[in-house]
Structure 1
Amino acid sequence: MGKKWWHDKVAYQIYPKSFLDTNGDGIGDLRGIISKLDYLKKLGIDIIWLSPIYKSPFVDQGYDIADYYAIAEEFGTMEEFDELLAEAKKRDMHIIMDLVINHCSDKHEWFQKALADPDGAFADYFYFRKGKNGNPPSNYRSYFGGSCWEKVPGMDKYYFHMFAKEQPDLNWENPKLRQELYKMINWWLEKGLSGFRIDAIINIKKDLNFPDFAPDGKDGLASCWKMVESVDGVGELLEDLKKSTFEKYDAFTVGEVFNMKPDELPEFIGETGHFSTIFDFSAHTLTDGEHGWYDAPKLEFAKWRAAIIQAQLETQKYGFKANIIENHDEPRGASRFLPSYAQTPDGIKMLGTISLLLRGIPFIYQGQEIGMRNAKWNSMEEFDDISTKDQYHTAREAGLSDQEALEVCSRMSRDNARTPMQWTSGENGGFTKGTPWLKVNPLFKDVNVEAQEQDTDSVLNYYRKLVALRKSDELKEVFTYGEFLPEYENVDGVMAFYRKDESKCILVAANFGNDAATIKLKSEIEKVWLSNRIDGTVDCEKDSLNLRSCEVVVLELENHK
């Protein structure tokens, strides 16, 4: 495998709206991000991914872009963005942005021109189709519920949207549109951006006949992803995108890819893949409900362990995936992947250790490094997220009571990850002097950066040690390029693996169980690199390693090749 500049990097996702507000309007801003670059540098971050900061009506929190060349005034100015780029560069850090090119906002100039002249050139930037017998052109349900087709007022035509009706899908079969998108992408890369996280990109390939599918719900509709999975040829579009943009700048690209066909992984992340990497969602999909959040299965440790192991073994044949515990679209990982007894500093450190030392590019989401957990939600009025509101209605229609539907949303809502960053124990967690756009998690008094800075045993200081260990001169090579080998899969509650190369054999072992566990070591311990015990020790007798509940250790063993 050819070595790339991004292989040994650690990334951090910022959700700008919730990171830090400096002007008192209750919304995080670029000035807030600039002020925390040293905080991120101390954490060991190399790459910062910003969720969308483009001009937008914010129907879907900025994933509905009205102008790809403009910064939303809520976040600041283009001059401030340029300052952020310059300040990051001074610290040898890279900025990547969200690239949302499956769809745009209905307020975008292109769509406004298409509506004004549905037979003109701009109409072909989108998908306009005539209805069938007074019904929409096909029976697809959007990702946010309801039909994918929205009727154009005063016409017998509909336009297509896989997300909200305010997010019309862009027609990637139109070469003129593609050139407009490529021009925009290259403009940002010329500006000094290091790459992109690419949103919902698998959706760009459509079956232009938009055939009906068998309904999979009481509404008579079929999930739109069935069309995505049934069509071939997305790779040709992605290669055209790569060669016209990213490849020219050696850009780092991480794709949000669902619905990939089983044999396509090397095409996506191999030596000449479409992207540098894609996110590993294998653990997250374990709690996907068949019909929605309301019938989401409970997470089982054995399935979680098996999913991660399978993804690691499959991926290392071809390249790297990006490893996450949480992001802006998921509830908090500490609340999702840890049983109640493990939702403690020790348990959170344990989960972080597993994630950051897997093979791949680690992504830390804002607040993860201090152990932020799901908020307590008292009513549906407290939520902002469009998807959460849809899932509440889905749950009620399925027969759940108001309280039951609220509990479902409280557990699964994306707003859990979007509550403001908890900087201090003061007003609004130090996020804003104004009224926050979304409520601050009540846990901020106990879980915040300021308190954890003062505590040598805090989750934050542990994360700093963990990132430093991954990037250390002695271990960087094995943690970047070393093989992943699972171990102790037959021991209940234990997640363990080796990271191994010619010179090093590192064992990462964690006990997710409620009871102590003992494992037999295959070779002698040469060094204890990390432990989440306060005294940093390990409990070992002869060749037996004893792990308390929620204990994790990182050991160097004799390397028997």
Structure 2
Amino acid sequence: MKKKWWHEKVAYQIYPKSFQDSNGDGIGDLRGIINRLDYLKELGIDIIWLSPIYKSPFVDQGYDISDYYEIDPIFGTMDEMDELLAEAKKRDMYIVMDLVVNHCSNEHEWFKKAMEDPYGEYGKYFYIQKGKDGKEPNNWRSYFGGSVWDKIPGHDDLYYLHMFAKEQPDLNWENPVVRNEIYKMINWWLEKGLAGFRIDAIINIKKDLEFRDLPADREDGMCCCAASLEYAVGVHDYLQELKRETFEPHGAFTIGELFNYKKEDLADFIGEEGCFESIFDFATAQIGENQKGMFAHNQITPNQYREAIFESKEIADGIGFMANIIENHDEPRGVSRYLKEEDCNDYSKKMLAGITLMTYGLPFLYQGQEIGMTNTVFEDITWVNDISTLSEYKVALEAGLSERDAAKAVGKFSRDNARTPMHWNRSENGGFTTGTPWLPINPNYLEINVESQLHEEESVLEFYKKLIQLRKDPKYKEAVVYGKQVPFLREEENFIGFYRKGEEKTLLVLANYQKEEREIVLSEEIQSLLMNNYPVINYNDGKVMLKGYQILILDVK
């Protein structure tokens, strides 16, 4: 595999609205991000991905863009964006923006013109279809619930397509004029000094143009629109064109959001001639999902977590790098999802950190992950802001759950868990804002915050720092970054063990994914102990006694 400049890096996602407010309006902003660059540099971060900061009505928190060339005033100005790019460059850091081009906002000028004249030039910028038998063109359900079709005002039999919210009309990638407009915008940003893009929902850009009905997957008689992608042929042609026209000439770093790829197609996405540099590894995030709805999702087991990691790494072996995550803006907090509530503590949080940063791929942290931020508690559905969670709440009620049980069930998986403000210190609102935060801060900020963990030897934050330092250590980075990942004791219950075999060094990771102690027998000679989330290691005569949720990273011979 050809080595790339970003392989040895560590990336970090910022959700701007919740990262740092600098002006007291309760909303995070660009100035707040600039003020925290030194913190991120000290942590060891190289690449920063910003969730959308474009002009938007925020129906879906900025993933509904009304102007791709403007910064939304709640975040600041274009001058501040230029300053952020310049300040990041001074620190040898790279800024990556969200690229949301499957859809735009219904307040975008293109869509407004399309609604004025659906049969005109701008009508062709979107997917507009006639109804069928007095109903919607087909039975597809949007990702946020309800039909993917919405009526066009003044035209009783005309509908436009939206795979997400009705305020997010899908752009018609079949139209070369639309594609060229998108390419022009992307190049404009790259010429400003942007390092690249995280590419949102990109697999959805190719549609099943027959718009056929599909077998229902719920009692509403509808089918999730994702199923239609099976019939959407030719997405790679568009993605290769996108690469040729924009990313490739600029040497841009690109990372795609793909849930629905087939194993045999992975090389087309991240191989030597692939469309993107990387994609996120969502293998663990998809465990326990239930088609009935979020309320029916299941608790993930350690064995499931292990197999998801190993299988995805085996698929990617020799093809390319995927990005390792335990959470992002669309997922609940990783430590609350992958650990039992009663076992969620600093030891188990460090164990998850060690597994994530030592597996093959690009480590991608999400804000607050480095201090072990957890899910919040939604006492009532009125506390929820997220459009997806509110939709899933209705699904839970329709399934017969009480209001209280429905709120609790969907709250556990709500995207708002990761969107609560960052905990900087123990002051009011966690140091996030001097005003009223746009989303209530998690009450546990008094115990979990940056200031209390900074330079505290045994803190979760310092453990993350040491893991990042290990990845960049000249002595070990070849093994950590490029070493082959080989499972160790794969059949052991509630245990994740693997080697990272480099050209000169072999590292062994041992993670006891349970609260009970266990003994592991080693045949290798331990040359040195590199990482341990406990103060001591119990090792004698080739046997290691691992404490509950203990993780060891060993240099072995």
Q: What does residue 363 of structure 2 align with?
A: 362
Q: What does residue 555 of structure 1 align with?
A: 554
Matches within 5 A, 1:95-244: 95-155=95-155, 156-244=157-245
Q: Deviations over 1:438-481 (max 9, x none)?
A: 00000001000111115221111111111111111111111111
Q: Deviations over 1:25-46 (max 9, x none)?
A: 1100000000000000000000
Q: Deviations over 1:189-237 (max 9, x none)?
A: 1100001000000000011120111222121111101111222211111
SS in 2 for 1:286: coil
RMSD of aligned C-alpha atoms?
0.9
Tell me the distance in 2 between the aligned counterparts of 1:262 and 1:458: 38
Tell me the distance in 2 between the aligned counterparts of 1:227 and 1:360: 30
* Structure 2 residue identity aligned to 1:503: E
Q: What does residue 340 of structure 1 align with?
A: 341
Tell me the distance in 2 between the aligned counterparts of 1:258 and 1:283: 11
Tell me the distance in 2 between the aligned counterparts of 1:174 and 1:7: 35
Tell me the distance in 2 between the aligned counterparts of 1:249 and 1:482: 29
Tell me the distance in 2 between the aligned counterparts of 1:341 and 1:207: 46
* Structure 2 residue identity aligned to 1:98: D
Tell me the distance in 1 between the aligned counterparts of 2:213 and 2:126: 20
Q: How far off its partner does 1:187 sit?
A: 0.6
Tell me the distance in 2 between the aligned counterparts of 1:22 and 1:405: 36
Q: How far off its partner does 1:261 sit?
A: 2.2
Q: What does residue 478 of structure 2 align with?
A: 477
Tell me the distance in 2 between the aligned counterparts of 1:199 and 1:281: 14
Following TM superposition, the consecutive aligned residue runs of length 4 or more in structure 1 with deviations greater than 4 angstroms are none
Q: What does residue 545 of structure 2 align with?
A: 546
Tell me the distance in 1 between the aligned counterparts of 2:527 and 2:36: 38
Q: What does residue 30 of structure 2 align with?
A: 30
Matches within 5 A, 1:437-476: 437-476=438-477
Q: What does residue 380 of structure 1 align with?
A: 381
Matches within 5 A, 1:238-253: 238-253=239-254
Tell me the distance in 2 between the aligned counterparts of 1:396 and 1:264: 38
Q: How far off its partner does 1:287 sit?
A: 2.2
* Structure 1 residue identity aligned to 2:202: I
Tell me the distance in 2 between the aligned counterparts of 1:274 and 1:203: 15
* Structure 2 residue identity aligned to 1:538: I
Tell me the distance in 1 between the aligned counterparts of 2:83 and 2:322: 31
Higher mean alpha-carbon deviation, 280-289 vs 77-86, is at 280-289
Tell me the distance in 1 between the aligned counterparts of 2:90 and 2:504: 34
Tell me the distance in 2 between the aligned counterparts of 1:238 and 1:368: 32
- Asked if the contact 2:480/2:502 (under 8 Å) is kept, the reply is no
SS in 2 for 1:284: coil
SS in 2 for 1:334: helix
Q: Deviations over 1:482-541 (max 9, x none)?
A: 1000111122121111001221110011101121111111210001111111x3x32111
SS in 1 for 2:490: coil
Higher mean alpha-carbon deviation, 185-194 vs 284-293, is at 284-293
Q: Deviations over 1:350-404 (max 9, x none)?
A: 1001001111000000000000000011111111000010010000000111111
Q: What does residue 79 of structure 2 align with?
A: 79
Q: How far off its partner does 1:90 sit?
A: 0.2
SS in 2 for 1:473: coil
SS in 1 for 2:286: helix
Matches within 5 A, 1:410-449: 410-449=411-450
Matches within 5 A, 1:3-18: 3-18=3-18
SS in 1 for 2:347: helix
Tell me the distance in 2 between the aligned counterparts of 1:509 and 1:176: 54
Higher mean alpha-carbon deviation, 447-456 vs 58-67, is at 447-456
Matches within 5 A, 1:523-538: 523-533=524-534, 535=535, 537-538=536-537
Tell me the distance in 1 between the aligned counterparts of 2:467 and 2:455: 18
Tell me the distance in 2 between the aligned counterparts of 1:227 and 1:492: 38
Tell me the distance in 2 between the aligned counterparts of 1:391 and 1:368: 25
Tell me the distance in 2 between the aligned counterparts of 1:177 and 1:23: 37
TM-score between both structures, scaled by the size of structure 2: 0.99
Higher mean alpha-carbon deviation, 455-464 vs 22-31, is at 455-464
Q: What does residue 299 of structure 1 align with?
A: 300
- Asked if the contact 1:499/1:506 (under 8 Å) is kept, the reply is yes
Higher mean alpha-carbon deviation, 81-90 vs 459-468, is at 459-468
Tell me the distance in 1 between the aligned counterparts of 2:70 and 2:293: 35
Question: CA 1:336/1:103 → structure 2, altered by over 3 Å: closer, same or farther?
Answer: same
Q: How far off its partner does 1:340 sit?
A: 2.6
Tell me the distance in 1 between the aligned counterparts of 2:343 and 2:520: 20
Tell me the distance in 2 between the aligned counterparts of 1:415 and 1:20: 17
Q: How far off its partner does 1:341 sit?
A: 3.8
Tell me the distance in 2 between the aligned counterparts of 1:84 and 1:316: 36
- Asked if the contact 2:425/2:445 (under 8 Å) is kept, the reply is yes
SS in 1 for 2:4: coil
Q: How far off its partner does 1:258 sit?
A: 1.3
SS in 2 for 1:8: coil
- Asked if the contact 2:347/2:549 (under 8 Å) is kept, the reply is yes
* Structure 1 residue identity aligned to 2:501: K
* Structure 1 residue identity aligned to 2:287: L
Tell me the distance in 2 between the aligned counterparts of 1:404 and 1:83: 47
Aligned residues: 556
SS in 2 for 1:314: helix
* Structure 1 residue identity aligned to 2:372: G
* Structure 2 residue identity aligned to 1:41: K
SS in 1 for 2:213: coil
Tell me the distance in 2 between the aligned counterparts of 1:301 and 1:334: 13
SS in 2 for 1:496: strand
Higher mean alpha-carbon deviation, 138-147 vs 513-522, is at 513-522
* Structure 1 residue identity aligned to 2:2: G
- Asked if the contact 1:342/1:348 (under 8 Å) is kept, the reply is no
Unaligned runs of 5+ in 2: none
Q: What does residue 513 of structure 2 align with?
A: 512
